[in-house]
Amino acid sequence: MLRIKLIVGMTLACAVAAAMAADTTTPRSSLTAAEIVNKNVAARGGLQAWRSVQSMTFQGKLGAGGNQRTTLPASLPDKKAAALPTDPRPKEEVLLPFVMEMQRPHKVRFELQFRGQAALQVYDGENGWKLRPYLNRREVEPFTADEAKAASMQAELDGPLIDYVAKGTRVDVEGMEEVEDRDTYRLKLTMKNGQSIHLWIDSKTFLETKIEGQPRRLDGIDHPVEIYYRDYRPTSGLEIPYLLETKVLPLPNPASRVKENPIPAERILIERVLVNPKFEASLFSKPQAEVASLNK
């Protein structure tokens, strides 16, 4: 993000440099962070409506595969380029059914159906477990330290901006930025643990457009991740995005003769949302492998 710089000088060259810098700087927002957040909360259904939500269930399909990522030579002749191997990973996207259940404070259970078996991830707000039968790992395993850290960083079911002050989050406006031909407010959210993420708010609807995700490691290198929110629909008095697209961004590598192509977006299609469903207390406890494998 470019910031406005004041350039002081006595020569014409300095004045020209200042004008050029002003032309390339991200425009400042006319609204404060608090004003943007208030408009976002109102657009999403209102503060009281979200405070009344204690649990939610999301049912839908998660896109897997469809990875047509290849590496293309930056300057090799066509014949040599054609001889290079391409990525053998599956090209067709497969939609896998899932159910995600969330409950305050910070509890999440995610179940994914894959090849007739149920894969699970459960987080009770402090501890997490996973079951991955598709990898022939049929024992319930605890989250790794990195997985537990990532889970603890996930926003509460109402998102990061609802009651952000009470959550210990600081919100700063870094300016305006165009996202997919729409003007957005770029916000920097600094959590109480000191970590920060960026969030983009549409300047007309004041709904979230995208948010930074956890970096993804590919070929030994961490790639930036962006999550886009699309297809908002009114649901029990709330505005909910029914389509999420995760984009893993390619990294420029000037030292390499091969440049990386964009990676196809991964989709999450929401088909049904339940607000305030009743859950058994054991739902977010450590799962039993023999029970989980029967949930087909």
Q: Is the pLDDT of residue 5 over 60?
A: no
Tokens 């770029």 sit on residue: 186
Secondary structure (DSSP) of 66-131:
-----EEESS--HHHHHHS----S--SEEEEEEEEEEETTTEEEEEEEETTEEEEEEE-SS-EEEE
More confident: 180 or 9:
180
Q: Which residues have C-beta within 8 Å of that of residue 47, sequence separation ≥ 6?
A: 41, 162, 163
Q: What confidence tier does 253 reach under pLDDT thresholds 50, 70, 90?
A: low
CB 63 within 8 A of CB 95: yes
Q: How far apart are CA 157 and CA 192, in angstroms?
A: 18
Q: Which of 6-10, 210-214, 269-273 has the highest mean pLDDT?
A: 269-273
Q: Is the pLDDT of residue 99 over 50?
A: yes
Q: Is the pLDDT of residue 18 over 50?
A: no
What mean pLDDT is predicted for residues 6-28? 41
Structure tokens at 294: 């029967």
In three-state secondary structure terms, 167 is coil
CB 187 within 8 A of CB 31: no
Q: How far apart are CA 208 and CA 179, in angstroms?
A: 11
Q: What confidence tier does 69 reach under pLDDT thresholds 50, 70, 90?
A: very low
Q: Is the pLDDT of residue 273 over 80?
A: yes
Q: Is the pLDDT of residue 4 over 70?
A: no
Q: What confidence tier does 138 reach under pLDDT thresholds 50, 70, 90?
A: confident
Q: Is the pLDDT of residue 129 over 50?
A: yes
Biggest alpha carbon distance in the chain? 78
What mean pLDDT is predicted for residues 141-162? 88
Q: What confidence tier does 140 reach under pLDDT thresholds 50, 70, 90?
A: very high
Rounded to the nearest 5 degrees, what angle is found at the Cα of 147, between the Cα atoms of 189 and 164? 25
pLDDT at 28: 76
Closest to 160 in 3D by CA, of 103, 199, 120: 199
Closest to 262 in 3D by CA, of 277, 282, 247: 247
CB 207 within 8 A of CB 201: yes
pLDDT at 20: 38
Distances (CA, A) of 233 to 138, 162, 237: 38, 18, 10
Of 16-25, 104-113, 145-154, 218-227, the least confident: 16-25
The H-or-E segment that residue 18 falls in is helix 12-23
CB 216 within 8 A of CB 197: no
pLDDT at 143: 93
Fill in the DSSP letter of residue 204: T
| pLDDT, mean over the chain | 80
Q: Is the pLDDT of residue 84 over 50?
A: no
pLDDT at 67: 53
What mean pLDDT is predicted for residues 252-266? 67
Q: How far apart are CA 199 and CA 213, in angstroms?
A: 10
Share of the chain above pLDDT 90, in %: 55
Distances (CA, A) of 1 to 174, 198, 199: 8, 11, 13
Q: Is the pLDDT of residue 276 over 90?
A: yes
In the chain, domain spans: 31-292
Fill in the DSSP letter of residue 23: H
Please give the backbone phi and psi of residue 166, each rounded to the nearest 5 degrees, phi first: -65, -30
More confident: 232 or 78:
232
Q: Is the pLDDT of residue 269 over 80?
A: yes
Fill in the DSSP letter of residue 36: H
Closest to 124 in 3D by CA, of 277, 278, 286: 286
Q: What confidence tier does 47 reach under pLDDT thresholds 50, 70, 90?
A: very high
* Architecture of the domain made up of 31-292: Clam (2.50)
Q: What confidence tier does 193 reach under pLDDT thresholds 50, 70, 90?
A: confident
What mean pLDDT is predicted for residues 56-81? 59
